[in-house]
């Protein structure tokens, strides 16, 4: 059996300590996989590279990111009855992004902001999991952007670790809590 090539990227830097969940095995044996992807060494096309195993074979490696904007450090999980979601960051001066689609392995992704905490715009390096009925509870931890990344001091911390959750699949969020 030959090992598959899921994707080829010039940018999947794993140096930010704890790597996010990049691979998820769904209960039916299908698999979703993501990475910080780029085909250009200047990284202007950087974003979430995605591939899917339908239970028999992997799709061809991606040739583009799933988002319309430059992103990084995706976390991947099941979402909804048969869907999937990705949470990642844009920059130290922008909110986190969540991309979802109702049917895993196929269809267009919908991308939205996860509101930043009051008094801080940028969030970085998110980690995300889902649980609950149909995986509609989304739990996210992320860091407010440090000043070196264009952020501001938050609650007296230059880079503050926060938690937020949505209990309705990302439609609304409960609000960031300092850890």
Dihedral sign from CA coordinates of 101, 102, 107, 110: negative
Summarised one tens digit per residue, pLDDT across range 116-152 is: 998 888 999 999 999 998 999 999 999 999 999 999 9
> How many separate helices (H) and strands (E) can be counted in the chain?
0, 11
Q: By C-alpha distance, which of 118, 134, 132 is closest to 165?
A: 132
pLDDT beyond 90 at 163: yes
pLDDT beyond 60 at 15: no
| 159, burial (CB in 10 Å: exposed 0-12, middle 13-18, buried 19+) | middle
Please report the pLDDT score of residue 16 as a whole number: 54
Cβ atoms < 10 Å from Cβ of 3: 5
Longest dimension (CA), the chain: 54
pLDDT band at 165 (very low <50, low <70, confident <90, very high): very high
3-class DSSP assignment, residue 102 = coil
Cβ atoms < 10 Å from Cβ of 16: 12
Summarised one tens digit per residue, pLDDT across range 22-64 is: 899 999 999 999 998 999 988 999 999 999 999 999 999 999 9
Tokens of 132: 């609950």
């Amino acid at each position: 059996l030959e090992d598959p090539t899921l994707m080829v990227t010039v940018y999947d830097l794993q140096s930010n300590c704890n790597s996010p969940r990049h691979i998820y095995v769904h209960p039916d044996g299908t698999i979703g996989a993501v990475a910080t992807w780029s085909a250009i060494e200047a990284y202007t096309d950087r974003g979430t590279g995605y591939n899917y195993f339908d239970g028999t074979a992997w799709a061809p490696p991606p040739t583009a990111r799933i988002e319309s904007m430059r992103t990084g450090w995706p976390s991947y999980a099941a979402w909804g009855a048969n869907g999937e979601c990705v949470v990642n960051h844009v920059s130290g001066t922008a909110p986190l992004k969540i991309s979802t689609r109702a049917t895993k392995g196929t269809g267009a992704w919908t991308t939205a902001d996860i509101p930043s905490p009051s008094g801080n715009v940028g969030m970085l390096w998110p980690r995300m999991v889902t649980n609950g009925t149909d995986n509609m509870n989304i739990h996210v931890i992320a860091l407010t952007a440090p000043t070196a990344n264009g952020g501001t001091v938050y609650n007296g911390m230059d880079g503050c670790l926060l938690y937020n959750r949505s209990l309705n699949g990302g439609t609304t969020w409960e609000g960031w809590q300092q850890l």
